[in-house]
Amino acid sequence: MTASIQRPVLALAAFAAALAFAAPAMAAMVNMKATLKGSNEVPPNDSKGTGSVDVTYDTATNKLNWKGTYSGLSGPATAAHFHVGPPGKNGGIAVPIFAGSTGKSPFQGSATLSASQAAALTDGNLYVNVHTNNHKAGEIRGQVLK
């Protein structure tokens, strides 16, 4: 190969290699948080309970990690979930957090989100709900936001 042809071929190969290594670097870890309180429930309630959930989302693997706490509930927590739904609207369970006696505070866990769950998360349409016997539909709730 002549030098005049060799340089563009080598430059193209170097560019292609750079693109191949750059694609994984575009993935990001996104930190989010949900602040839980009774007034966020739909309909709102007068619970004195509060809580928070710190969320880390890996855009490359769709892995969701969480660590949360709660206190002041009207009774023991019976379950907690991530639900799909915008602020002010109830939605279905997307990811279980805990059920029954495993629901002690603090709590943590992880799950791999489906494409639709990941879209709900990044669009601000995923919330955390902690349930008790006194508030079976949810005692404290918080939208997961950046």
60 pLDDT band, cuts 50/70/90, is very high
Please determine, for residue 58, whether its predicted confidence score (pLDDT) is greater than 90. Answer: yes
77-80 long-range contacts, Cβ below 8 Å, gap at least 24? 77/103, 77/104, 77/105, 77/130, 77/131, 77/132, 77/139, 78/103, 78/131, 78/132, 78/133, 78/136, 79/103, 79/130, 79/131, 80/107, 80/128, 80/129, 80/130, 80/131
Task: Write the CATH number of the domain with boundaries 27-143.
Answer: 2.60.40.200
Going from N- to C-terminal start, the domains of the chain cover: 27-143
pLDDT tens track for 83-96: 999 999 999 999 99
Mean predicted lDDT score pLDDT of the chain: 88
User: Is pTM beyond 0.85 here?
Assistant: no
pLDDT at residue 13, as a whole number: 46
